[in-house]
Amino acid sequence: MDEGHARAKIIVGISEQLLLAVKSDKDIAEILKQINALSVEELKVFLNNDKLKKTFWINCYNAFFQILRKVKKLAKNKIYKSRSIEIAGSFFSLDDIEHGILRRNRFKRSLGLFTNPFAPSLLKELVVDELDYRIHFALNCGAKSCPPIAFYKSDKIDEQLDLATQSFLEGESKFDDKNKVVYTTALFKWYKFDFGGYKGVKEIYKDQLNRDIAGYSIKYNVYSWDELLDNYS
């Protein structure tokens, strides 16, 4: 194992350790010191492919949501925009991680159609190379309709994200074959163009669930925002 690969494994490992400690209700102070002791340059140099980037930032998002809500007691209406997450000597918000880094600086409420040209330079430096729609089935925002929290590993993340997508869609989808209607998650509506639009959603069902819904109309389930913390898969 070369030095760069070894360092990348350590960095991603810190995100895994943090999430595990949060789940286990263990003291996280030392891990928080480790994650803040990283440098932005290290994140740029060693998290040098999307598997590493997605693993690190998905784990961080899911861990820090629990920390901000349960430990810091941030209100639901402030939790996404508050830059209270200290990583590598910089402060991030949950929105920075999700819509900045993982969604390549897409505007939060643009259906995934528009990119923010005024995004902070830090976020532009850390973004994934390609937007992966499956992240929507991996990020947990503490609501009942959110996907459950999994522990992602860089050498298995593609398989894990496929499994997360398939599992979530199986639980969220109802097929009315007689009337050719599929009822599905509102995530497909909110981030429509992350999924390739209406046509892309149908392709996802074919690829992920082996369901051909080419002639079906799509209706969206009501999203439950009732709080459900500690929802681990």
Give dist(CA 111, CA 195) in Å, integer: 10
Other C-beta atoms lying within 10 Å of the C-beta of residue 116: 17
pTM of the model: 0.97
pLDDT given for residue 2 in this prediction = 81
- What is the share, in percent, of the chain residues with pLDDT greater than 70? 100
Contacts of 53 (CB under 8 A, 6+ apart): 47, 101, 126, 128
- Residue 87 bridge partners (DSSP): 90
Give dist(CA 11, CA 42) in Å, integer: 9
Residues 205-232 have a mean pLDDT of 96
* Domain locations along the chain: 3-155, 173-220
Please, which pLDDT band fits residue 14 given cuts at 50, 70 and 90? very high
Sign of torsion over alpha carbons 30, 87, 68, 228 = negative
Lookup: tokens for 229: 């913390």
